[in-house]
């Protein structure tokens, strides 16, 4: 019984700290989409061109189906802009090859380098980007790092690793489902 009480207390305290840190971040929030430029793909047979097209389509869903891919609900805070232009350009600049290795090796310095490379229109507030780390077709699962950064200084404020189950018909929909699963979970609940 004490173990259960301890686990519940630990989960509640982690949730509270994360929710509190989101409230303390500079407002407004600006969402920059899903950055697939660093992703590892495991066990997939599609071509690089097919993945580039799917990644473009997934980011477009953030605009065309904004009620479903709801960042305001995810963050529990208003979002000033959803600007995917920068990410769309980055996502086409890489050759995507499926590997057998599904080990994630990206570091906080790598996230900082990604953020430093963005050309942003906003001059104040907090930037939010989902960095895709792994698309594992063998497990029908994707792993993302939700990265929060101060727009004027580009300083990382927080990162949260989250995963979502993939599923659906077609390459875009299959991996878009994992993004939906992450956004549905809400940052404060993880």
Residue 175 has pLDDT above 90, yes or no: yes
Is pLDDT above 90 for 65? Answer: yes
**What per-residue confidence (pLDDT) applies to 187?**
65
From CA 91, how far away is CA 97, in angstroms rounded?
A: 13
Question: What's the CA gap between 29 and 26, in Å, rounded?
Answer: 8
Token code pair at residue 156: 């990382």
| pLDDT mean across residues, the chain | 87
Residue-level pLDDT at 152: 95
pLDDT of 14-41, one tens digit each? Answer: 444 444 466 777 679 999 999 999 999 9
Bridge partners of 164? 142
Q: What would the pLDDT profile of 113-170 be if each residue is shown by its tens digit?
A: 999 999 999 889 999 999 999 999 999 999 999 999 999 999 999 999 999 999 999 9
72 three-state secondary structure? helix
Radius of gyration of the chain (CA): 17
Rounded Cα gap, residues 15 and 8, in angstroms = 11
Structural tokens at position 7: 């686990």
Phi, psi (rounded to 5 degrees) for 39: -70, 145
State the burial class of residue 133 (Cβ atoms within 10 Å of its Cβ: 0-12, 13-18, 19+): buried
Taking only the tens place, the pLDDT of each residue in 84-104 is 998 999 999 888 888 777 888
Residue 9, pLDDT > 80, answer no
At 118 the pLDDT is: 93
Per-residue pLDDT at 95: 86
Q: Phi/psi zone of residue 106: left (φ > 0), alpha (ψ -120 to 50 degrees), beta?
A: beta
Residue-level pLDDT at 102:
81
- Per DSSP, 169 falls in state S
**3-state class of 139 per DSSP?**
coil
């Amino acid at each position: 019984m004490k173990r259960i009480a301890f686990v519940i207390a630990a989960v509640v305290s982690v949730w509270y700290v994360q929710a509190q840190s989101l409230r303390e971040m500079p407002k407004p929030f600006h969402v920059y989409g899903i950055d697939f430029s660093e992703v590892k793909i495991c066990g997939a047979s599609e071509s690089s061109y097919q993945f580039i097209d799917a990644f473009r389509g997934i980011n477009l869903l953030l605009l065309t189906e904004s009620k479903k891919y709801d960042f305001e609900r995810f963050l529990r805070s208003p979002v000033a802009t959803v600007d995917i232009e920068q990410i769309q350009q980055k996502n086409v600049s890489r050759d995507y090859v499926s590997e057998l290795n599904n080990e994630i090796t990206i570091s906080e310095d790598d996230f900082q380098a990604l953020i430093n490379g963005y050309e942003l229109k906003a001059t104040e507030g907090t930037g939010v980007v989902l960095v895709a780390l792994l698309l594992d077709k063998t497990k029908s699962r994707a792993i993302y790092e939700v990265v929060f950064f101060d727009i004027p200084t580009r300083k990382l404020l927080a990162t949260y690793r989250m995963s979502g189950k993939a599923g659906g018909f077609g390459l875009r929909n299959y991996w878009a489902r994992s993004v939906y699963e992450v956004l549905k979970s809400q940052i404060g609940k993880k």
